Structures are given as C-alpha cells and as structure tokens.
C-alpha cells in the first residue's frame, strides 16, 4: 500500500509564504501524477494544483494562479507546493494526492482521479 506524507504546514501571516512537500513511500512514483487539494472548515475539498506525467503544463485553481507553484522535487517521489502571497481564505487542510494512471485534462481537477491520499497538513493564514 502506497503512503503519502505531507509536511510544511503551519501558521503564517497574510502575505507570507509556505512550502508544502509530499513524499510517497514508493520510489516508482517518478511516473505518477500528482495533485494538491484543500478543505476549509464546513466546505468541500477543492482542487488546488496538479502536475501530470509527461505534461509540461501545470494546472491551478483560478484563485491561486500566480501565487502557488506545484513542482516535482529532485527526489522523484516528492512533489512540492510553493505558496506565496498567502491570504486568510487560503486557510485549510491541504492534501496531497497521486495516481498511477494519467488523468485526462477534464478529470484532473476531480478527487476521483486520484487513488492515493495523504493525511493532510494544516495551513493557517492569520495575523
């Protein structure tokens, strides 16, 4: 069973930055497809960002474009989410997700496109 472990969450002031990382227990994740989702209290889990195998594009929630960057780290079984210019509305639990099968473009923002999930890491943006 593949395990995903997130790290890097915490408390930050508005306008600040955080970098989240997600590491998979299996090194064969070099060929996997990755995404980040988030869930704020009382709200549904929503798509934040995704990167697919053999795809130079990155996909983002409109409200985080220009502020967040998803990237594969040097270790092939890790994906990062760099979050800049954070806002109070970014406060949520952030979840890493992954899948072996490459989701089609129309599906990569859906939770159902990902088989593996981390436990989540809390991000709080507050002064």
Mean pLDDT across the chain: 92
Could you read off the pLDDT of 21-47 as tens digits, one per residue? 999 887 665 678 999 999 999 999 999
Distance CA 68, CA 50 (A): 11
Please state, in angstroms and rounded to a whole number, the distance separating the CA atoms of residues 14 and 16.
Answer: 5
49-56 average pLDDT score: 92
Nearest to 8 by CA among 86, 121, 117: 121
pLDDT at 62: 98
Give the up-direction half-sphere exposure of residue 44: CA atoms within 13 A in the CB hemisphere: 4
Query: Using CA atoms, how far apart are residues 46 and 63, in angstroms rounded to an integer?
Result: 12
> pLDDT > 70: what percent of the chain?
94
């Amino acid at each position: 069973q593949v395990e995903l472990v997130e790290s890097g969450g915490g408390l930050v002031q508005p306008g600040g930055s955080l970098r989240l990382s997600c590491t998979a227990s299996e090194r064969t994740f070099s060929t996997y497809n990755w995404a980040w989702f988030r869930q704020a209290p009382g709200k549904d889990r929503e798509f934040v960002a995704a990167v697919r195998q053999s795809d130079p594009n990155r996909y983002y929630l409109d409200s985080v474009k220009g502020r967040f960057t998803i990237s594969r780290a040097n270790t092939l079984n890790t994906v990062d989410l760099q979050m800049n210019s954070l806002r109070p509305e970014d406060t949520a639990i952030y979840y890493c997700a992954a899948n072996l099968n490459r989701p089609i473009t129309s599906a990569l923002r859906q939770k159902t496109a990902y088989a593996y999930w981390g436990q989540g890491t809390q991000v709080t943006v507050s002064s």
